[in-house]
Amino acid sequence: MEDKFLMKGNEALAEAAIQAGCRHFFGYPITPQTELAAYMAKRMPQVDGTYLQAESEIAAANMVLGAAGSGVRAMTSSSSPGISLKTEAISYMAACDIPALIVNVQRGGPGLGGIQPSQADYWQATRATGHGDFQILVYAPATIQEMVDLVGVAFDKGDQYRIPAMILADGMLGQMMEPVKLPEAKANKIIDKPWACCGHHNKRPHNILNSLLLSPKELEDLIVQRYKRYDIIKENEQKWDEYLIDDADIVVVAYGASSRISHTAVDMAREKGIKAGLLRPITLWPFPVKAFETLKETAKAFISCEMSMGQMVDDVKLAVECKKPVSFVGRTGGKIPTPNEVLDKIIEVGGCC
């Protein structure tokens, strides 16, 4: 089993990015994502890459804008308060159709919050990673291996659709170790980017990456076009995982760290004879509504389990078209729910159906 070894989530994210061909990392220290930047500081010089500690999260994200705008795979990582600062550049990147990777190893908020694991940036990630009409791809890994795999996916899909992508992790996944197998390095298989600003070399008209459109018609037209692309993404890129849902009366919906707790709780419920199952969104945007197509008819009730105050409940309600009750269980502020807390909710909801 020598091809598998233990890695911390934060380090696995970093190495996976390098394997995916990312050679430009711009960061700023913040707990609990520190190991990611530290790993990059060590590894990037070994692969002739750039590790740069910026003067702020704002600057780091704008360096990503510049590097990714010039056509290379670039990324930044931070944790919740730092992501708020990066939203400026994320909005501009979305507006210029620049693909890049942003990693959020979430901690408790709002404000400075805490440094323990949290999922309280769900709304920020899926609704508003900056001002204006736009979305970004949001991937929510639940294991260290999945962190590794999704980094490659995020870069590839970002390039394919010209859209920024986020890995939404949390302090628990960032800090924990699990066995991982790294993918084969995909050297130079990155797609052509004819739109990139890296010099026209007197062979084409100059490229412009710009988000200022003073004519309302032009701006509206561009956004409507972009939303057509979002529709294609919604159609093709929903990802989710299912556990014991075929005969489930009660479906727990949970992503990332809280899905692992829910997984254990579902096992405990099954031992008690309760038909519980787990639906785990892997993409948070696009939200995997397709996963609910049959479930919303067959299941009796849904529970959104989160490390936040019910931020995902609305998405679950929309996905089940309010045909079945959707309730919430979770902790916030850096607290991780225990499997027993989730089990109690399953029993409570089960008693009602």
Per CB under 8 A, the list member of 115, 182, 190, 309 interacting with another protein is: 115
The residue among 85 and 309 lying less far from another protein, judged by its C-beta, is 85
Tell me the one-letter amino acid at 86: K
Burial of 305-333, coded b for 16+ CB within 10 Å and e otherwise, reads: bbbbebbbbebbbebbeeebebbbbbbbe
Residue 353, both tokens: 């159906």
* Binders in 71-110 for another protein, by CB under 8 A: 71-72, 74, 88-89, 92, 96
| 210 near another protein, rule: CB under 8 A | yes
Helix, strand or coil, per DSSP, at residue 87: helix
Cβ proximity of 256 and 308 under 8 Å: no
The residue among 211 and 327 lying less far from another protein, judged by its C-beta, is 211
Cis peptide leading into residue 286 (ω within 30°): yes
Query: What's the 3-state SS for 31-53?
Result: CCCHHHHHHHHHHHHHHCCEEEE
Per CB under 8 A, the list member of 27, 69, 113, 158 interacting with another protein is: 69
Q: Rounded to an integer, what distance in angstroms lies between the CA atom of residue 213 and that of residue 270?
A: 56
Per CB under 8 A, the list member of 43, 85, 152, 207 interacting with another protein is: 207
Per CB under 8 A, the list member of 203, 216, 228, 273 interacting with another protein is: 203
The residue among 66 and 325 lying less far from another protein, judged by its C-beta, is 66
User: Min. distance of Cβ 260 from another protein in angstroms?
Assistant: 5
Q: 134 Cβ partners below 8 Å, 6+ apart?
A: 91, 94, 95, 223, 226
User: Min. distance of Cβ 308 from another protein in angstroms?
Assistant: 17
Residue 41, both tokens: 């500081």
As to burial, measured by CB atoms within 10 angstroms (0-12 exposed, 13-18 middle, 19+ buried), residue 121 is: buried
Q: Rounded to an integer, what distance in angstroms lies between the CA atom of residue 121 and that of residue 127?
A: 10
Q: Rounded to an integer, what distance in angstroms lies between the CA atom of residue 121 and that of residue 111?
A: 12
Per CB under 8 A, the list member of 42, 127, 181, 200 interacting with another protein is: 200
Letters for 255-294 (x = contact with another protein by CB under 8 A, - = none) are -----xxxxxx-x---------------------------
| 248 near another protein, rule: CB under 8 A | no
User: Min. distance of Cβ 235 from another protein in angstroms?
Assistant: 30
| 322 near another protein, rule: CB under 8 A | no
User: Min. distance of Cβ 252 from another protein in angstroms?
Assistant: 11
| 181 near another protein, rule: CB under 8 A | no
| 171 near another protein, rule: CB under 8 A | yes
User: Min. distance of Cβ 110 from another protein in angstroms?
Assistant: 19
User: Residues binding another protein: what is the number (CB under 8 A)?
Assistant: 66
Residue 44, both tokens: 């990037």
Query: What's the 3-state SS for 311-329?
Result: CCHHHHHHHCCCCCCEEEE
* Binders in 9-28 for another protein, by CB under 8 A: 24, 26
Residues lying near another protein in the complex (CB under 8 A) are found at: 1, 4-6, 24, 26, 31-32, 50, 52, 54-56, 58-60, 62-72, 74, 88-89, 92, 96, 115-116, 171-172, 175-179, 197-203, 206-212, 260-265, 267, 336, 338-340
